[in-house]
Chains A and B, each alone.
Chain A
C-alpha cells in the first residue's frame, strides 16, 4: 500500500482514488478532502456548506461509507476509494436516487442536493429506509435550508420501495 510522505514537511504527496480514477496530487498537509476534490481535482459537485461538519453538504463515500469530506484530510484518504456525486451514475444514466429527487422536486436552491443524494445512496445500502421516521432520523446529518425535507423523504421512500 502506498503511503503519504514522512519527510518533515507540511506538503504531502497523496494518491487519491476518486470514482475509480487515480489522481496523484501534491498538497498542503492540512488540505481537506473537500478542498482537494473541488480545487485540485475540479470535481465541484461536492459542495462546501458550513465547512465544519454540521451541514452534510460535502458528504461523499469513503470505502463505501458516507463521511463528511470537510473534516477529513485528503492525506488521510491515501489508499481509500472515494465516491462523489460525479461517480454514481450508472451506464450514463442518473442514479435512481437522482431520478427520484427530480421526480419528487426534492430541492429548491439545490446547494445541499449532492450531499443529500450521497447520504441517501448510503442510507439505502445501510438498510435504514424501513419507515419515514427512520429516513428522517438517518438523514438528519444533511440540512436543507430550503426545507425540502418532505420531498426528500418521499424520493428516498420511492427508491426504497421500488
Chain B
C-alpha cells in the first residue's frame, strides 16, 4: 500500500495551511488524475492528500459579461449551466466531448486545468527517461512510440501533450485563473498560466506550492458571435483528441470582424492560435482565408515520425471548424 496521509480540509484556510506546511502535500479534488498517478501508476509520490472536495468552491455566477466558475464545479455541472449553454456553447461542446459521464461527474474545472499529460512514458514508472518526472533524464517519447503527443510548444526535451478539451475554448476566450495562497489572491490569464517545456518540462505552470486555483473567469461570447468545437479522435467517444479546434467568430457582410481560435491535441500547453486570428480578422470568410489561417497556426511545428501526420490533420481541423462556425 502507498503510504499517503489523508486529511479532509475543514475550511479554505486550513486547506492552504495543510499543503503549504509540507512540500510534498497536494490538494485532492475530483481525484481522477491525482489518484491515478499516485496510487495506480505510482509516478507521483505525495506525502499527504488534502481533500478540498467539500469546500464551498462550487457553482457558476454571472459577473456582467463574464462567468465566474468556482474551481470545484464539476465538468457535468458546468456543461449543464444555462449561461454556458446559451453564451459559451463551445465550452459546453468541449466539456461533453471529454472523458465519460462518470469522470465528468467527478472531475472538477480546477482539476481539468491542472490535469497531467497522458504521455505513456511519463505514466510508466519503468521508463527511466522522462524529463517531466525526472529532470535531466531525457525523453523516451522522442525516439519512442509517439502519436498522442504535441507538435507545438514541443522540443527535444519534451513532447508531452496537454490533453484538455475544455482548455481549448478557455484559452481562445481569454479566460483567467484566480489563485489563492496565504499571501492573498492573484489573477493570471490562462494563456500565461502554462509554461512550454523549454529546459524544464517538470515546471508546467506558474502555480506555486500551496497555491490553490479557486475560480476561472470566462468572458461570454459577444452578441452575434458563433462558436464551435471539433474533436478528431481514434474512436467516436471517450477518447482524447488526436487534434481539436475551438473557434469563436463574428462575420459582417462576408468579412470576419472578430475571431478567437484555440487548438487541442497539438500543444504542450492549451494552444492559442494568435497568428491565425491575425490572418482571419479583416479577411473574407472563405476557404482561402481558412487555409491561410491554418498555415499560420501550424507554422513552426516540432515533429517526430509518429506525430508528423498531425501537421496536416491540425490544419484541416482548423479549416473544418472555421467552415462550421461561418456557414
Contact = CB atoms under 8 A, between A and B. Distances in A.
A8 B141 CA distance: 39
Given A73-B31, A138-B101, A29 B238 contact: no
Given A66-B101, A136-B237, A140-B238, A75 B106 contact: no
A117 to B, nearest CB: 13
Interface size class of B (residues with CB under 8 A): 20 to 34
A72 B40 CA distance: 12
A73 to B, nearest CB: 7
Nearest to B100: A141
Given A8-B5, A75-B51, A76-B53, A30 B39 contact: yes
Interface stretch (A49-57, A86-94, A104-112, A154-162): A49-57
A84 interface: no
Nearest to B29: A76
A29 B35 CA distance: 12
Given A53-B103, A72-B106, A10 B4 contact: yes
Nearest to B97: A137
A16 interface: no
A32 B39 contact: yes
Contacts, number: 96
B102 A30 contact: no
Interface of B is mostly: mixed
Interface in A108-143: 119, 122-123, 126, 128, 136-138, 140-142
A143 to B, nearest CB: 8
Interface string B1-45: 111111110100000000000000000100110011011100000
Interface size class of A (residues with CB under 8 A): 35 or more
B237 A29 contact: no
B100 A56 contact: yes
A136 B236 CA distance: 10
Nearest to B35: A71
Contact of A71 (B6, B7, B36, B76): B36
Given A66-B102, A141-B99, A71 B5 contact: no
Nearest to B106: A67
Nearest to B4: A30
A97 to B, nearest CB: 15
Contact of B101 (A8, A10, A123): A123
Interface string B301-322: 0000000000000000000000
B36 A52 contact: yes
Given A10-B3, A67-B102, A75 B35 contact: no
B36 A28 contact: no
Given A52-B40, A136-B237, A141 B101 contact: yes
Contacts of A18: none
Contacts of A67: 102, 105-106
A9 interface: yes
Contacts of B32: 53, 71
A14 to B, nearest CB: 9
A151 to B, nearest CB: 18
B229 interface: no
17 contacts: A4-B51, A6-B8, A9-B5, A10-B6, A12-B6, A29-B4, A52-B40, A62-B105, A66-B101, A66-B102, A73-B28, A73-B51, A137-B237, A138-B101, A140-B100, A141-B100, A142-B100
Given A3-B10, A73-B6, 11 more contacts: A28-B1, A29-B49, A30-B4, A56-B100, A66-B102, A67-B102, A68-B106, A73-B49, A73-B51, A136-B236, A140-B238
6 closest A-B pairs by beta carbon, nearest first, are A141-B100, A29-B6, A140-B237, A140-B238, A65-B105, A141-B102
